[in-house]
Homo-oligomer: A and B are copies of this chain.
Amino acid sequence: MGRVLVIEDDERIGRLVTRALEGGGLLTERASSGSAGLDAALRRDFDLVVLDLMLPGLDGRQVLDQLRERRPEQPVLVLSAVPEISTRVAVLEAGAADFLGKPFAVAELLARVRARMRPAPGGDGGRWLRIGPVHLDLHRRRVTVDGVRVELPLREFLLLQHLMTRAGRPCSRDELLADVWGLHFDPGSNVVDVSVRRLRGRLDRADRIETVRGVGYAYAAD
């Protein structure tokens, strides 16, 4: 479950925000001043920090700068009543992951928070793929089944990757042709079927590819 730190001095808005986030299934923590917030952010791990710009004592901008300095990988979503474009730009350039002006709709805040907490596109959100005994390393293009290495040719690896990332959902031949083969038209042959067969053969007993009649193939979800 995601953990969010809310740094906001205004009691009313603070409540509003934490309520909204908790309603969205997130764990929240609250800090009412810049220094307390910075402290909490440095001491513990949060998936996201929601930071108000106008704060007593240590200013929100200073908190952001400190955070970027001492924990550059920490994503921060900045809230602010300041409407100027220059402020937004400055905050984003300073490293904030997102900016939302006040007044804001809680639904939009929640949606933006969620967007920021999604598995990072290039990050390790994609390096490893594991379902049951089958384990893919996307970087090294390696497969192990029950810890034993299995050599897969390129096409079969891409095919397996596509199916596993969409486990439980059937994938049409067209979809596979487009993503695995890069073909945006039907080559008029059963390449997909043949490749699936070869892949099945190589996975042997670990094979979890199901054929969905009239549609395509699906990897059995966990």
Contacts and interface: CB of A to CB of B under 8 A. Distances in A.
A25 to B, nearest CB: 13
Interface residues of A, number: 49
Interface stretch (A7-15, A87-95, A198-206): A87-95
A71 B179 CA distance: 8
Contacts of A19: none
Contacts of A105: 85, 89
A73 B126 contact: yes
A1 B95 CA distance: 18
Contact of A184 (B42, B119, B125): B42
A122 B115 contact: no
Interface stretch (A26-34, A57-65, A106-114, A208-216): A106-114
Contacts of A72: 165
User: Which of A88, A92, A128 counts the most chain B CB atoms within 10 A?
Assistant: A92
5 contacts: A89-B107, A97-B115, A126-B139, A127-B139, A138-B138
